[in-house]
Amino acid sequence: MPSVLPLPASSLHQVKFAVVALAVGGFALGTTEFSIMGLLPEVSAGLGVSITDAGVLISAYALGVVVGAPILAAATARMSRRKLVLGLMVLFTIANASSYFAPTFEWLILTRFISGLPHGAYFGVAVLIAASLVGPTKRAQAVAMVMLGLSVANVVGVAAVTWLGQNAGWRHMFTVVAVVGLLTIVLLYFFVPAQSVHAGASIRRELGALASLQVWLTLFIGIVGFGGFFAVYSYIAPTMTDVSGFPSSAIPIITSVYGLGMVAGNIIGGKLADHNVMRSIYVVLTLIVASLLAFHFLVELAWAAIIMIFVIGAVGSALVPGLQTRLMDVSPDAPSLAASLNHSALNVANALGAFLGGAVIAWGWGLKAPALVGAILALLGLGIAALSGVIERRRQDRTSDAVTSVGSSH
């Protein structure tokens, strides 16, 4: 963990301001990532492409996240984390401003891809900064506060920007995001303290994280376990209208309920992970399995469906702080790359959950089936977490035995 320059007497307030600044950046990233989904018809009409083609814009951003996270995190290993988050937010803001002026659909695809490049690296470095500003017993809560920006974006930002885009033109979505990006740059500049570069940091050292079995197991927990969350979230609109019986006009309210659950889950997940990281992952994955099964059986009851939407949002988001903190723990020599890869993993989870959920619907199993797929994925994620825990305990036992043996020999 890098050393932080001494803060004045009001350091507690400055830490809060720093975390808020980092979270505002998360709000901007979440807003641009998810708002485009609700504006595809407007983009389609405005640029003269089909809805299916317009959907490529979602994939372009996700691809940018998956590609950008490891490359940028490794390539900037020797850069000050404060300078890095500032640089990443500058790139993000310029890319979104360019999207506003995109003259063609192909240009918009390119700018969406570029917008996604800083996403994973920003969150990865931001949570490391936040964790370094607080004591070891508050790390996961600091991580959760940064990620809270992403959850709040799903409650407020996406709804507001979607409404603006539908009524004033879809390009205004990028105007709002660029303005929030500029605000983030200002806040980061004034409130995030300077930090020394990690001792011995290098591209080779960061890439060394990829040789760690525990890093890969943690990433697979996210890909498989969180994929269950996305299997349901991807098809929430048709499920709630065709199965639960809600009118389509209620979907914005329902997605806001989902977002409120995500906010609550972030906060609770951070507190759980600060008590015990691996135990929090076990508990949350178990709750995801239970909640998705309950959703499958209760979704036809409108009142129960609304409750379960909140619960699924909460337990799904509660997994993220634990995973993020676990990656920081299992890769102490390459924290930036490991923390950034979590967001690549979550975007792969998004694609996996949406694909498998769509597959069972296409096979004629109905709109309730993705919840069962999600429960199976979460159960598999729990199995991977259990394997990770067993391997770690065996390694600790071997280390303890070796120390005991050396001690007895003397």
| Tens-digit pLDDT profile for residues 227-275 | 888 888 878 878 888 999 998 778 778 888 988 998 999 999 999 999 9
Say what the pLDDT of residue 55 is: 77
Say what the pLDDT of residue 196 is: 66
CA–CA gap between residue 323 and residue 321 (Å, rounded):
6
| Tens-digit pLDDT profile for residues 349-383 | 887 888 888 888 889 999 999 999 999 999 999 99
The domain made up of 202-405 is a member of CATH 1.20.1250.20? yes
Structure tokens, 233? 């979230």
Task: Please give the model's pTM, rounded to 2 decimal places.
Answer: 0.80
Domain assignments of the chain as residue spans, ordered by start: 8-201, 202-405
**CATH ID of 8-201, from 1.10.443.10, 2.60.40.1190, 1.10.3720.10, 1.20.1250.20:** 1.20.1250.20
Say what the pLDDT of residue 342 is: 84
From residue 231, alpha-carbon distances to 107, 282, 316, 356 in Å are 30, 20, 11, 7
Three-state SS at 195: strand
| Tens-digit pLDDT profile for residues 145-181 | 898 898 888 888 888 888 888 889 999 999 999 999 9
**Exposed, middle or buried by CB within 10 Å (0-12, 13-18, 19+), for 5?**
exposed
Dihedral angle, C-alpha 266, 222, 160, 157, nearest 10 °: 50
Mean pLDDT of 199-214: 71
Q: Please tell me the number of Cα atoms within 13 Å of 102 on its side-chain side.
A: 28
| Tens-digit pLDDT profile for residues 373-382 | 999 999 999 9
Say what the pLDDT of residue 2 is: 42
- Answer yes or no: same fold for 8-201 and 202-405: yes
CA–CA gap between residue 94 and residue 91 (Å, rounded):
5
Q: Which residue(s) pair with 4 in the sheet? A: 195
